Amino acid sequence: MTDLSGLTQQIRFNILNLTGLFMAYLLPAEFVTKMVDAGESKVFMSTRDTLIRGYMAGAILALAAVFAITIAVQTGMFLLGAILFPVGFCMLYLMGFDLLTGVFVLTPLALIDKRPGVTVKGVLRNWGLVFLGNFGGALTVAIMMAFIFTYGFNTDPGAIGKKVASIGEARTLGYAEYGTAGWFTIFIRGMLCNWMVSLGVVGAMISTHVSGKVIAMWMPIFLFFFMGFEHSVVNMFLFPFSLILGGEFSVMDYLVWNEIPTALGNLVGGLAFTGLTLYSTHVRTAPKRNLPYSKPADLAPSSVAEHATR
């Protein structure tokens, strides 16, 4: 009986621990304050760190896109590729890297909250640096994967390469056929995309355990990928990769009929549907704090940027 009682207590203890692992979370007022803190830290982050983190985020997300497309082509199951795509997003978030879609939501909140030293110029600077970093990382992976698929550009790219090329053409020339209506279709798809992606970012902030963060990120990222919404950073990989492999559209087609409306849609959707709504309804319930003034970016030590949890 003693052994049985001890075993029962151990099982109960393990169940309680497992429950706590998945249920530990922050209250709305707490995680919204965390969002503003994260936005502030990114505005004051040094140029070097911003570029490095942007570069790695773009590269990892590009690899995740190749991974998902490879699975979809080889298995014939797009759903499976969509289910597994979020692995890249989870990796880059847990490593503390930055996507343009994320800073679109977080940094304006620090400006709206009137954090000391946060300016419009600082927010735009952060967006520009993260964009450059994301594009550099995505382009690097595009070149590397194109080299791999063609054995140094000496053979046919195969089924996967052809699939990516077809995506590039369909998501540029396919939209261009409809003129203004096509442009706004991309814009709205970009809005819906970053609504979901930013919910993944916020969901990760709500949880205080890695397992909870991963689950919270996985669901909305899976939804956006399966629904075919437009993500500006994923497209920084897809379209250059498609052009390298012979996609029949131009760089200008890519910019005008995809990247620009997608990025604008990502900005509006993420900020309007996630950032501003959460801030406007929850920030007033957060406790008041006395915040010290932070030095401008590149003058402050790197540790300032590390203060806020992303």
The model's pLDDT over 104-128, given as tens digits with 9 standing for 90+, comes to 999 999 999 999 999 999 999 999 9
Q: Is 108 exposed, middle or buried (0-12, 13-18, 19+ CB in 10 A)?
A: buried
Domain hosting residue 159, numbered range: 24-287+296-306
| pLDDT tens string 203-240 | 999 888 898 899 999 999 999 999 999 999 999 999 99
pLDDT value at residue 165: 79
pLDDT value at residue 292: 59
Q: pLDDT > 70: what percent of the chain? A: 84
Number of helices (H), then strands (E), belonging to the chain: the values are: 16, 0
pLDDT value at residue 96: 96
Question: Distance (Å, rounded) from C-alpha 32 to C-alpha 26?
Answer: 9
pLDDT value at residue 303: 41
pLDDT value at residue 15: 46
| pLDDT tens string 146-164 | 999 999 999 988 888 888 8
pLDDT value at residue 78: 93
pTM: 0.85
Residue 140, domain member (yes or no): yes
Is residue 305 pLDDT above 80, yes or no? no
Residue 143, domain member (yes or no): yes
Helix axes 158-170, 120-149, angle to 10 degrees: 140
Question: Distance (Å, rounded) from C-alpha 198 to C-alpha 298?
Answer: 27
Query: What SS3 class is residue 10?
Result: helix
Q: Say if residues 64 and 43 touch (Cβ distance below 8 Å).
A: no
Report, as an integer, the average pLDDT of 7-19. Answer: 50
For tokens 């993420």, the residue is: 270
Question: Distance (Å, rounded) from C-alpha 193 to C-alpha 173?
Answer: 20
Residue 133, domain member (yes or no): yes
- Which amino acid is it at 193? C
| pLDDT tens string 258-296 | 999 999 999 999 999 999 999 999 886 656 656 555 555
CB atoms within 10 A of CB 64: 24
Residue 131, domain member (yes or no): yes
Kindly report the CATH number assigned to the domain that includes residue 96. 1.20.1080.10
pLDDT value at residue 246: 86
Report, as an integer, the average pLDDT of 47-56. Answer: 98
Residue 5, domain member (yes or no): no
pLDDT value at residue 298: 58
Question: Distance (Å, rounded) from C-alpha 306 to C-alpha 308?
Answer: 6
DSSP state of 284: G
Residue 6, domain member (yes or no): no
Question: Distance (Å, rounded) from C-alpha 242 to C-alpha 247?
Answer: 5
pLDDT value at residue 167: 86
Q: What is the CA radius of gyration of the chain?
A: 21
Residue 135, domain member (yes or no): yes
Q: Say if residues 35 and 278 touch (Cβ distance below 8 Å).
A: yes
Report, as an integer, the average pLDDT of 129-149. Answer: 97
Q: How many domains does the chain divide into?
A: 1
Sign of the alpha-carbon torsion through 163, 165, 171, 175? negative
Residue 14, domain member (yes or no): no
Is residue 36 pLDDT above 50, yes or no? yes
Closest CA to 99 of 138, 139, 148: 138
Is residue 4 pLDDT above 70, yes or no? no
Structure tokens at 184: 């706004």
pLDDT value at residue 113: 95
Q: Say if residues 89 and 225 touch (Cβ distance below 8 Å).
A: no
